[in-house]
Structure 1
Amino acid sequence: MPHNQQIVLDNRPQGEAVASNFRLVLTDTPALEDGQVLVRHHYLSLDPYMRGRMNEGRSYAAAQRLGEVMMGGTVGEVVESRHPRYAVGDKVLGMGGWQEYSVVDGAAVGALRPVDTSHVPLSYYLGAVGMPGVTAWYGLVRIIAPKEGETVVVSAATGAVGSAFAALAKARGCRVVGLAGGADKCRYALQELGFDACIDYRQYAGDVKALSQALKPACPNGIDGYFENVGGPIMDAVMLRMNAFSRIALCGMIAGYDGAPLPMRNPALLLINRTRLEGFIVSEHMQVWPEALTELATLVGAGKLRPRETVAQGIAAAPQAFLGLLKGKNLGKQLVKLI
């Protein structure tokens, strides 16, 4: 059996996450038992939610345990199988974690999902046609539920979720406005992702009033739906432009993942505008995944969703790539290539 390099959580962050919170270890892959499958990971997904699970405090999911392999989505290839459902060479999606190989119980519901790479690249199943894409779909379709002609806004606009959100919203006839960090990202949003407007929030250095003023010409008819990935001053600025009976899909609060409280500047706006705000975790809505994935794959096939990927090479690069993701250094989906 092959040796397996893994990244484990060595200690919990005290404020901002740092590289020394992680540790690279080398282990022996155990021999397979009946019913098990050995998967060689080709790509590892890095996602903002992982930062929240590094903390010990109460959250919507159990904290990452110290000394254990960091959790994370993976796509790869079956290299040995003792389960009749899986054959050597099958391409599969799973939650293999920050490691080169995983041993999976082939009978466990949802542990592995075969994927078709004849029309969709393998890595896309971790982004546009995977969890981030379905996250965008659920927040837009089931929570914001926009009507044609409405204006919708998304923060972290050029990430994996924001990219998919734009394509899905344009397909529904919406005006789509993004918030992103930096001129290059805003150009990408406009020229490649199809956004109608994109605001570089870094120009406003946390000035809520100034950012809200910048949103005014981008959203001349106000904001009907908002997909929130960041929180903090960005959310405060957007709320100043929300219309009556607007909807907010609360997906992430990356601005608060270092543990500091994220106060809301003017919560009375929720009442004044009769805004519906709903937080959601996409893994709790597995019933929508087939419908969402079908639409996302169709958009990719038609060239209407052209996701970019930022790819780090090798498992040892995962911690620094993850820290870069938290600071917005990636463009599109952040992956680690493991082969």
Structure 2
Amino acid sequence: MRAMQVTEHNSPLALQTLDTPMPAAGEVQVQVATCGLNFGDTLLVKGSYQEKPALPFTPGMELAGTITAVGEGVEGLEIGQRVVAYSGIGGLAEYAVLSAKICVPLPDQMSFEDAAAFLITYGTSHLALGAKAGLLEGERLLVLGASGGVGLTAVELGHLMGAEVIACARGADRLAICAQKGADHLIDSDTQDIRETVKALGGADVVYDPIGGDQFKAAMRASNQGARLLPLGFASGEVPQIPANILLVKNMTVLGFYLGGFAKLNPKAMTQSIETLIGWYVEGKLKPHVSNVLPLEKANEGLDLLRTRQATGKVVVQVAS
């Protein structure tokens, strides 16, 4: 099978020919149709992610495809079934072997393209806003990096959960997409002062931040008493140092969230979240925004789109030809 692999950290992926893996007990073999790319994949390639697989390895944190073989003891899944999985690695290959426990059946209404754009972005936003921050109807939600993969789902879900959503992104074109997904207020981070603009709108009750750096600092100072802050990543390259005195004076809470760790900590909540989100998709309440679809051999171009923050929404690799 063909696979795009990390053979050396901080170098482009290499297209390799590998033996097709076979499932052991409790596993299934999936012919990969699509793989969703995430900013975490760029960190895996760089060697700076929370988890560091041994070299060489195949990145690709989420995949969708069709089961082609079933290991001993697997129940509830069968050959020919369409599934999606948060795999952690392995998605940028023509076949993947996965634990049957992490495979979620796909409804007929969901395309492989949408499925590969779904689990991590929507799962992160749904669990962070709901299970972690306890976002309430009528609260004011500030989303930084709102036109990116996870940010756009936070706008969409925040609107669906009844919040007043402030979307912060770079440029009119990106903000227009945020408005389409339900943002009530728009802030251009290139030209507007985030702190002053948010304060003028009444302050933020919940801050959703995959960016870090100066934007996090501005958002913190624009937050209301009792606000909850969700640092989800640091696309700016700067991990903010949080002043405890501001937390104290404003009675604020900082809630770290990492989907991979949460899935291990509370797998039941993860499963329930996926079921809820897929149900909303089937009902027409959610629609992933896929900005780029690339073939397997151009996966490096997809990663570059994420590194340079050029993508609006999700980048998907079409693995099956």
TM-score of the pair, normalised by structure 2: 0.86
Which segment drifts farther, 242-251 or 114-123?
114-123
Within the alignment, does 1:333 sit opposite 2:314 as a pair? yes
Within the alignment, does 1:159 sit opposite 2:148 as a pair? yes
Of 6, 9, 18 in structure 2, the residue corresponding to residue 9 of structure 1 is 6
1:3-60 deviation per Cα after TM superposition (whole angstroms, max 9, x unaligned) = x1111112223xxxxxx43222122325667776432111111111223334546x6x
Q: What's 2:198 paired with?
A: 215
Amino acid at match of 2:133: I
1:299-318 deviation per Cα after TM superposition (whole angstroms, max 9, x unaligned) = 32343323211233221111
| CA-based RMSD | 2.5
Q: What's 2:129 paired with?
A: 140
Q: What's 1:170 paired with?
A: 159
Q: CA deviation at 1:74?
A: 1.0
Amino acid at match of 2:248: L
Q: CA deviation at 1:82?
A: 5.1
CA contact (8 A) 1:310 1:333 kept: yes
CA contact (8 A) 1:44 1:98 kept: yes
Name the CA shift for 1:137/1:242 in 2 (closer, same or farther; >3 Å). same
Q: Which runs of 5+ in 2 are unaligned?
A: none
Q: CA deviation at 1:335?
A: 0.9
Which segment drifts farther, 228-237 or 112-121?
112-121
1:92-129 deviation per Cα after TM superposition (whole angstroms, max 9, x unaligned) = 2232332111244xxx453x41413323333333333x
Q: CA deviation at 1:263?
A: 4.1
Distance 1:189 1:35 in 2: 41
Distance 1:161 1:88 in 2: 32
Q: What's 1:276 paired with?
A: 253
Distance 2:241 2:316 in 1: 32
TM-score of the pair, normalised by structure 1: 0.82
Within the alignment, does 1:92 sit opposite 2:66 as a pair? no
Count of equivalent residues: 311
Q: CA deviation at 1:195?
A: 0.6
Q: Which runs of 5+ in 1 are unaligned?
A: 14-19, 205-209
Distance 1:75 1:327 in 2: 26
Q: What's 1:316 paired with?
A: 297
Q: CA deviation at 1:230?
A: 0.8
Q: CA deviation at 1:216?
A: 3.6
Amino acid at match of 1:127: A
User: Secondary structure in 2 aligned to 1:179?
Assistant: strand
Distance 1:281 1:139 in 2: 9
User: Percent of aligned pairs with the same residue?
Assistant: 21
Q: What's 1:72 paired with?
A: 61
Q: What's 2:284 paired with?
A: 303
Amino acid at match of 2:105: V
User: Secondary structure in 2 aligned to 1:234?
Assistant: helix
Of 103, 116, 119 in structure 2, the residue corresponding to residue 113 of structure 1 is 103
Name the CA shift for 1:29/1:189 in 2 (closer, same or farther; >3 Å). same
Q: CA deviation at 1:236?
A: 1.2
